[in-house]
């Protein structure tokens, strides 16, 4: 889920190259969030999971808002458990004005508990003009828009070593079967195909989601995400079978299943882009670039590159995303000023600030691509925006945390068990259904 992904991963930001052009919105963008120092003397408190570089880069956005409106801002890092921290602050009479929510499920929880204020007409107008309808859907509860998706992740990217591909004489594949063939060729040349971060169960959910979305299609994906389709459905078993073929192939998985289960996400990137490469490819989101660049000094686009997660069994190429949605709490001391912050965050002007700093993707299609500092980030952003309504939010982030977001439990643990022994996809599907049924009921 995004709460554990962005804090852990993109704190190692992507490139911080200089920006040649910044984005400006139209008349709505200029007026949104003020601009006449109307909020002088007020303080807007913002809570979110970000820390490290992410927090510093978001602070640049908040500083731009302050320069525009005169408001002061205060960011409070919640750690992973946003709902617990925010709930305790509300109970203690110290609610923040704005929360950056990293999960659809948490946003829905906040709305159903009556904690949220619907977004203003100005913000809704910006969302209608700049966002694909799917982002409005994920920010809404019972038809009311509460959440503005300010930061997104593109989780349908496979990162590879151009040097490993060159030595093996292969090119980026255009289908899942071709990807496995490329992997076998890379293996024959001396490296394993994939570095798999099995120690972090969330990476395995992302593998499953990309295969399932492409193979089963968006309607079944949506139904499974809402638990309107059971995990024992034949489409789930088929996706697990497809994934299992990769997991059990020692030529494809660096070090085999045992080593994969002892490899965390940063370690999986190191196996491809570190000083002693063991594999040619690592699947994960756009945030791989940050780790490759910041920890291993790789030039993105030259030493490290990506290709889109390829289509499976003739389906469409999947585009799985995640994101952080800004919401306004009713109990915040400066909720009105908080709403003006969201009006600002909805503009390309605000997104351009973080795009310039690096380690950021915006779902706002009105943000010019030249706001990003390098070609690879521009390509990733274009892929995300061009996907439009075919984007699907990370399924585990839509689930109750007991099923989709708890270490050592639910989907994370069961997919780790499946990586360890992928011989019984039907049995794994039954276990997933039992865990899901319990969590969704709760």
> What integer pLDDT is reported at residue 255 of this predicted model?
96
Q: Domain of 128?
A: 2-154+322-393
- pLDDT, mean over the chain: 91
What b-and-e string marks burial along 323-360, b requiring 16 or more CB atoms within 10 Å of the CB? Answer: bbbbbbbebbbbbebbbbbbbbbbbbbbbbbbbbbbbb
Q: Are residues 274 and 239 in the same domain?
A: yes
Q: Are residues 169 and 231 in the same domain?
A: yes
Q: Are residues 337 and 350 in the same domain?
A: yes
Domain boundary (393, 408, 428) is at 393
Beta bridge partners of 101: 325
Asked if residue 189 lies in contact with residue 277, where contact means CB atoms within 8 angstroms, the answer is: no
| pLDDT of 7 above 70 | no
* Average pLDDT over every residue of 374-394: 94
* Average pLDDT over every residue of 299-308: 96
Question: For the range 122-129, what are the long-range contacts, defined as Cβ-Cβ under 8 Å and sequence gap of 24 or more?
Answer: 122/28, 122/31, 122/32, 122/343, 122/346, 123/32, 123/148, 123/339, 123/342, 123/343, 123/346, 125/28, 126/28, 126/29, 126/32, 126/343, 126/346, 126/347, 127/346, 129/28, 129/366
Q: Are residues 311 and 291 in the same domain?
A: yes
| pLDDT of 19 above 70 | no
Asked if residue 253 lies in contact with residue 427, where contact means CB atoms within 8 angstroms, the answer is: no
Q: How confident is the model at residue 3 (pLDDT cuts 50, 70, 90)?
A: very low
In this prediction the pTM is: 0.85
Asked if residue 411 lies in contact with residue 205, where contact means CB atoms within 8 angstroms, the answer is: yes
Asked if residue 428 lies in contact with residue 414, where contact means CB atoms within 8 angstroms, the answer is: yes
| pLDDT of 121 above 80 | yes
> What integer pLDDT is reported at residue 17 of this predicted model?
31
Q: Are residues 24 and 111 in the same domain?
A: yes
> What integer pLDDT is reported at residue 81 of this predicted model?
77
How many domains does the chain contain in total? 2
* Average pLDDT over every residue of 92-102: 95
pLDDT tens, position by position, 266-278: 999 999 999 999 9
| pLDDT of 80 above 80 | no
* Average pLDDT over every residue of 21-25: 34
| pLDDT of 31 above 50 | no
Q: Are residues 58 and 166 in the same domain?
A: no
Beta bridge partners of 323: 152
Asked if residue 391 lies in contact with residue 134, where contact means CB atoms within 8 angstroms, the answer is: yes
Q: Are residues 197 and 239 in the same domain?
A: yes
* Average pLDDT over every residue of 131-143: 96
| pLDDT of 161 above 60 | yes
Q: How confident is the model at residue 207 (pLDDT cuts 50, 70, 90)?
A: very high
Q: Are residues 181 and 116 in the same domain?
A: no
pLDDT top residue among 236 and 102: 236
CATH number reported for the structural domain that contains residue 286 in this entry: 3.40.190.10
Q: Are residues 310 and 410 in the same domain?
A: yes
Q: Are residues 89 and 169 in the same domain?
A: no
Q: Are residues 196 and 121 in the same domain?
A: no
Q: How confident is the model at residue 2 (pLDDT cuts 50, 70, 90)?
A: very low
Q: How confident is the model at residue 111 (pLDDT cuts 50, 70, 90)?
A: very high
Asked if residue 164 lies in contact with residue 252, where contact means CB atoms within 8 angstroms, the answer is: no
Q: How confident is the model at residue 83 (pLDDT cuts 50, 70, 90)?
A: confident
Sheet holding 157-160, edge to edge: 192-195, 279-283, 157-160, 305-308
Q: Are residues 133 and 243 in the same domain?
A: no
The alpha carbon dihedral of 3, 6, 8, 9 has a sign of positive
């Amino acid at each position: 889920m995004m709460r554990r992904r962005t804090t852990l991963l993109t704190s190692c930001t992507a490139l911080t190259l200089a920006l040649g052009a910044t984005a400006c919105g139209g008349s709505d963008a200029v007026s949104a969030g003020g601009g006449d120092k109307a909020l002088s003397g007020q303080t807007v408190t913002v809570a979110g999971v970000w820390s490290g570089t992410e927090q510093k880069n978001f602070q640049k956005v908040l500083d731009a808002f302050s320069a525009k409106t005169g408001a002061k801002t205060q960011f409070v890092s919640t750690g992973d458990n946003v709902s617990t921290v925010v709930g305790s602050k509300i109970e203690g009479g110290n609610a923040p004005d704005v929360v950056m929510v990293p999960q659809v499920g948490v946003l829905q929880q906040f709305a159903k508990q009556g904690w949220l204020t619907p977004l203003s007409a100005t913000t809704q107008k910006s969302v209608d003009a700049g966002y694909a309808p799917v982002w409005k859907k994920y920010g809404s509860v019972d038809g009311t828009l509460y959440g503005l998706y300010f930061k997104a992740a593109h989780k349908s990217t496979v990162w590879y070593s151009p040097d490993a591909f060159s030595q093996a004489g292969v090119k980026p594949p255009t289908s899942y079967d071709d990807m496995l063939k490329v992997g076998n060729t890379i293996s024959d040349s001396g490296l394993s195909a994939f570095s798999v971060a099995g120690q972090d169960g969330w990476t395995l959910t992302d593998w499953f989601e990309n295969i399932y979305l492409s193979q089963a299609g968006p309607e079944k994906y949506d139904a499974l995400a809402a638990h309107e389709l059971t995990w024992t459905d034949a489409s789930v078993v088929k996706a697990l079978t497809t994934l299992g073929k990769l997991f059990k192939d020692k030529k494809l998985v660096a070090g085999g299943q045992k080593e994969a289960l002892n490899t965390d996400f940063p370690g999986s990137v190191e196996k491809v882009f570190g000083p002693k490469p063991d594999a040619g490819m690592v699947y994960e989101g756009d945030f791989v670039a940050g780790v490759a660049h910041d920890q291993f000094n790789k030039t993105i686009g030259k030493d490290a590159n990506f290709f889109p997660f390829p289509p499976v069994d003739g389906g469409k190429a999947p585009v799985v995303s995640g994101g952080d949605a800004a919401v306004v709490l009713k109990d915040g001391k400066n909720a009105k000023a908080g709403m003006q912050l969201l009006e600002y965050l909805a503009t390309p002007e605000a997104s351009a600030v973080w795009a310039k700093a690096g380690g950021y993707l915006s779902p706002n299609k009105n943000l010019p691509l030249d706001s990003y500092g390098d070609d690879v980030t521009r390509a990733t952003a274009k892929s995300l925006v061009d996907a439009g309504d075919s984007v699907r939010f990370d399924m585990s982030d839509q689930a109750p945390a007991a099923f989709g977001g708890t270490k050592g439990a639910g989907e994370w643990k069961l997919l780790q068990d499946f990586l360890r022994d992928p011989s019984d996809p039907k049995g794994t599907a039954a276990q997933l259904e039992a865990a899901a049924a319990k969590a969704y009921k709760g």
